[in-house]
Chains A and B, each alone.
Chain A
């Protein structure tokens, strides 16, 4: 008897005490029932969204730690925000250790799922779709973790975002993998973040495929330690449809992988095809700024082995015709502005603007072949990516 009690106690401590499953079904009052489940959940609970279409009128929010929200598949459970009347996003998460998986959001008025200050979050097999396709009045970000430590985005699909499909901002310890970003302005964007791994994704039909940015004037700056590897970056040729004013509105149609500012970025083993401005672009921040903490240059960017199927065959750049003529009809695949420091493996074909000063425009450009040194030593991968424990949550 005593032994039995002891075993029961062990069991209890192994799984969250009294964890419950709350099942929500679509239909009448779905908004209130779903939001109520999100509010009344206790740490350890799971909220199950049964298959079907949920007609929602307001943003949803979760502020309880250690909760899983699970649907019946990204095409089975659809949260439909077409008639949304309020809030800046479809679903806002502000608590830690949350897992969202296996459901879709359609047509949120602002962002799709935003998680802010939500550490150790997992997004798994989530779909965010603006069903009319590229449109400047679509919401900005599909998947939007910000100011968080520990972010795993796995198997998601985002279409139609007027800024970035998958956007990770001001965060640390990040993995974005196995995901599809299609027909957004930016497919995947890592901004002002450290220790990010972007791998095994498909970025296609965006204006720009994968962007790694560091911007001034934000609470968290100093982006770096980023690996962009083993991605398929194909046919990113959608005209830029971002509303003016946003940083991505300046991204040229046909950009494959773009690194702006940042410290220590590795780009390798990607397949790049059909990115008509530049399959790979490494540049300094282009705007004037007053933030003394900010370094606008790309530092220690490493271009490893990548597979380039052609280069910039239809660049959206000033003086494109002259450039094409000068380079024999097609620009080499890697474009550097000449600022900061870049290393590339020997086989890399590229060109440089040979600028000498950041933020002064292209007036001083003296385009010429890329002349950079080869990488010295191994890229330091330590600490890059989401904590391993986040991946363990994907089972089941």
Chain B
């Protein structure tokens, strides 16, 4: 820690001395100590993930990526990046999560608005440390110059792309774990091979970042092209990405017995003909999670269609109803044979 501070000071002094000369800026490096050390950097800029923080231009060692089907977050535009520590290599592990060794970081910035009016609201980081992954939220300042650690989260008034004025919730540290917790550890959710593009993965392999092409990659449909995918694939992808981080064994909603993972094939576990356990008024007067052929009688869609705390699913991470997701899941249930 002290050593890196001294280096940083030296670098600053050096840069200052050369400021009058029109040389290219010095190469920027990610601050590995910030990722893997025991402290918790106060500012997003402390990590050095970005060459231009406000414009979200990453340094060369930080790679942007996307997910085929993303998690709905009130329509936020999400900018995703991954960092691999020097001397390590990501490892393929079937269709599931890419194995990212200690020193890796996942960075996700939530933005609302386009072009000139784009506003960065928060950046969430997942840091792989020797004793496991840690998750922290950073809240962007008004000037859009940097984001500050916000362990207690925040509420931010903003307008969604659909024009809904909401009180957007930046999660606190514990809420990060509500979704990222699995068997009492914090784990990444997004970068599963089945939900990453084959093209991107091939690039990662070619560049030596990833050891080999994962088996079962690129299975989930592209969300914006879901109409050309099968309805079953689109709906199951949606449920996997939006629900299954909690609704699976070992996670926050395990006690419900509902398991919405992509690989789950048992109808009852998926909610078909399954009675609720602790839904309370979230059941909405319905008897089963999914009634084949009848989305209007299914608890799953009832809760997706709500934005009221105590009823709405997911419980955290959204304030508004995802009409597109609701449409796909409703049609999927409607097409099931009673």
Flag whether B213 is at the interface (Cβ < 8 A).
Answer: no
Flag whether B151 is at the interface (Cβ < 8 A).
Answer: yes
The CA of A291 and the CA of B177, in the complex, are separated in Å by 31
List residues of A whose CB falls within 8 A of some B CB. Answer: 32, 35-36, 38-40, 57-59, 61-63, 84-88, 92, 94, 108-111, 116-117, 136-141, 144, 146-147, 162-163, 167, 169-170, 215, 217-220, 243-247, 287, 290-291
CB of A84 within 8 A of CB of B309, answer yes
| Chain A residues whose C-beta falls within 8 Å of the C-beta of B169 in the assembled complex | 58, 85-86
Flag whether B285 is at the interface (Cβ < 8 A).
Answer: yes
A-B contact pairs, 6 of them (CB 8 A): A86-B315, A140-B281, A146-B278, A215-B275, A245-B288, A246-B283
| Chain A residues whose C-beta falls within 8 Å of the C-beta of B167 in the assembled complex | 85
| Chain B residues whose C-beta falls within 8 Å of the C-beta of A245 in the assembled complex | 275-276, 279, 283-288, 299
CB of B319 within 8 A of CB of A162, answer no
Which of A58, A88, A137 has its CB near the most chain B CB atoms (within 10 A)?
A: A88
| Contacting residue for B178 out of A92, A141, A247, CB 8 A | A92
The CA of A266 and the CA of B330, in the complex, are separated in Å by 46
Q: Give min CB distance, B155 to chain A, whole Å.
A: 7
Contact with A along B288-315 (1 / 0, CB 8 A): 1000000000010000000011100001
- Given the interface contacts A87-B315, A219-B257, A245-B284, does A57 sit within 8 Å of B155 by beta carbon? yes
Flag whether B111 is at the interface (Cβ < 8 A).
Answer: no
CB of B172 within 8 A of CB of A39, answer yes
CB of B280 within 8 A of CB of A244, answer no
Number of A-B contacts (CB under 8 A): 134
| Contacting residue for A88 out of B155, B274, B286, B310, CB 8 A | B310
| Chain B residues whose C-beta falls within 8 Å of the C-beta of A291 in the assembled complex | 268
CB of B281 within 8 A of CB of A138, answer yes
CB of B152 within 8 A of CB of A36, answer yes
Flag whether B174 is at the interface (Cβ < 8 A).
Answer: yes
CB of B152 within 8 A of CB of A35, answer yes
CB of A246 within 8 A of CB of B279, answer yes
Which of B280, B286, B319 has its CB near the most chain A CB atoms (within 10 A)?
A: B280
Q: Give min CB distance, A42 to chain B, whole Å.
A: 14
CB of A218 within 8 A of CB of B309, answer no
CB of B280 within 8 A of CB of A110, answer yes
Residues from 241 to 295 in B contacting A, C-beta threshold 8 Å? 249, 252, 254-255, 257, 268, 274-288
**Minimal Cβ-Cβ distance residue in A for B273:** A290
Flag whether B173 is at the interface (Cβ < 8 A).
Answer: yes
CB of A215 within 8 A of CB of B309, answer no
CB of A62 within 8 A of CB of B310, answer no
CB of B255 within 8 A of CB of A146, answer yes
Flag whether B184 is at the interface (Cβ < 8 A).
Answer: yes
| Chain B residues whose C-beta falls within 8 Å of the C-beta of A38 in the assembled complex | 174
